Structure 1
Amino acid sequence: MERGPRRVTGFTDAVFAIISTLLVLDIRLPAGTDHLGRSLLALWPSYLAYAITFLLIGQTWVNHHIIFDHIRSVDRILLLLNTLMLMTGAFLPFTASVLAQAFRTGHGERAATVFYGTTFMLGAILFNLIWRYAQHGQRLLAKTIDPEGASVISRRLLPAPFWLALGTGLGVVLPLLGVLVITSLIPFYWLSIPGENLRSRRHRGSTGDGGQAHE
């Protein structure tokens, strides 16, 4: 059974909003603080973990909207893949907390970086599977994008799991470098997808209403 994507994107928006909000709850001052300024500065790993994770989640949310703008309908398999992707996302506040604590205390940085990177990597794999499944045979895609444009998006999304695997692997040896590699995805995926917008505009012009599914 197939249905329109509107409820999927609405639910996903709500989950991403909750995940992003939960991130800040980990930033707490230690009890009995005598020197407020010094204590606030000592929390820099928490600030950093919050900023990196928030931007990566925001990036995922933006790209989720980009791909679902071109998805005409969803079926049970796509719903399952999206649910699994959200499940890994909901785990991120905990992994960010573990990462911040490890760098704040100086203990367990390697394990924390691998834990953090692996969670993002699983999410990226599932994100790719969502698009690949919808794209295969144009089975669930709208007329807003042609096969060439869909392939452009596929090539754009594909490097993320491998790059995150690289950052995770480096975290075993050099935790800080591993985190920096993971962080480098932020500028890469906030950039527009070359060629995709042009093809989308062309198809919107030819269909009049953009080929959007109506519920």
Structure 2
Amino acid sequence: MPPGVRAPPGPVPDAGAVTEPARRSGRSSPFGVERDPSRVVSFSDAVIAIAVTLLVLEIRPPRDSGHLLHGLVTLWPSYLAYVVTFMLIGQVWANHHVMFDQIRTADRAVLFLNTVLLMDIAFLPFAASVLSQAFRDGQGERVAVALHGLTFELAAVLFNIMWAYVRRHPRLLVSTLDAAGAVAIGRRFRLALGWIAAGTLLGVLVPALGVAVIAAFIPFYWLPIRGETDRARLRRGRPGPA
């Protein structure tokens, strides 16, 4: 080309073409295009963060400042509902990461199930408010415990459905997850079904006992799962247990 003559400009890529390389998992499936699940996790983290923030807004300060200490003490049902619900939502968040650490790509079915799960989590501040109000008023405790427990039970059901779905479609899972790890994660998710259901049923009979059983679930469920510990060993280059 002669000096001083500019080459004709090439086609300007549109925004979709620029971002296309980032869609590493654009394979088609019966449930739509499979996508990188990182945005699913980010969106889920945001919804869960909003849910736990709303919990504290349900604790109303006493109106009578002249008897402030007594008023603060009488708010114990609100504190109880706040702590139990916050820690249980924290478990949902932690185990959501455990599950999505093993998911390589997400299709429309995964997106739908995760959306329903987030809808359930967003409802939890209301369920916690109903629970604290019922114990504060001394009436309706059975219904309140049932509502609170069933909301968490639905979350457990959705976890199990989602995990069963991705296990039936191995292309969605990371290659580092072995069969034993997949079984261990599924066993932990199934345990939540029985434990929360038992606490909910007991709560219908004896509300305080139901809340205690559900609260007892908190320390156990924070224990690590073999599926995540085995993957951590693989990342460090250490062999797993025999």
Q: TM-score, normalised by structure 1?
A: 0.91
Please point out which of 141, 151, 155 is paired with 2:173. Answer: 141
Q: CA deviation at 1:195?
A: 5.8
Please point out which of 59, 62, 76 is paired with 1:27. Answer: 59
- Whole-angstrom distance in 1 between the partners of 2:36 and 2:167: 16
Residue ranges of structure 2 left out of the alignment (5+ in a row): 1-32
SS of equivalent residue, structure 1 residue 139: helix
Please point out which of 117, 137, 146 is paired with 1:105. Answer: 137
Q: Structure 2 vs 1, CA of residues 119 and 91 (structure 1 numbering), >3 Å: closer, same or farther? A: same
Which amino acid counterpart does residue 22 of structure 1 have in structure 2? L
Of 184-193 and 72-81, more deviation after overlay is shown by 184-193
- Whole-angstrom distance in 2 between the partners of 1:199 and 1:58: 22
Q: CA deviation at 1:202?
A: 2.9
Q: Structure 2 vs 1, CA of residues 196 and 14 (structure 1 numbering), >3 Å: closer, same or farther? A: closer
Aligned match of 2:36? 4
Aligned match of 1:156? 188
The count of aligned residue pairs is 206
Larger radius of gyration: 2
- Whole-angstrom distance in 1 between the partners of 2:39 and 2:75: 39
State whether residues 64 and 71 of structure 2, in contact with CA within 8 Å, keep that contact through their aligned partners in structure 1.
Answer: no
Q: Name which structure has the greater RCO, CA cutoff 8 Å, separation 6+.
A: 1
* Alpha-carbon RMSD: 1.6
- Whole-angstrom distance in 2 between the partners of 1:89 and 1:39: 30
- Whole-angstrom distance in 2 between the partners of 1:107 and 1:34: 27
Please point out which of 223, 226, 230 is paired with 1:191. Answer: 223
Q: 1:64-79 alignment to 2 at 5 Å?
A: 64-79=96-111
Aligned: 1:95 with 2:127: yes
Q: CA deviation at 1:204?
A: 7.0
Aligned: 1:124 with 2:156: yes
Q: CA deviation at 1:133?
A: 1.1
Aligned match of 1:168? 200
Q: CA deviation at 1:149?
A: 1.0
Aligned: 1:17 with 2:63: no
SS of equivalent residue, structure 2 residue 105: coil
- Whole-angstrom distance in 2 between the partners of 1:69 and 1:204: 16
Aligned: 1:56 with 2:84: no
* Overall identity of the aligned pairs, in %: 57
Q: CA deviation at 1:199?
A: 4.8
Residue ranges of structure 1 left out of the alignment (5+ in a row): 207-215
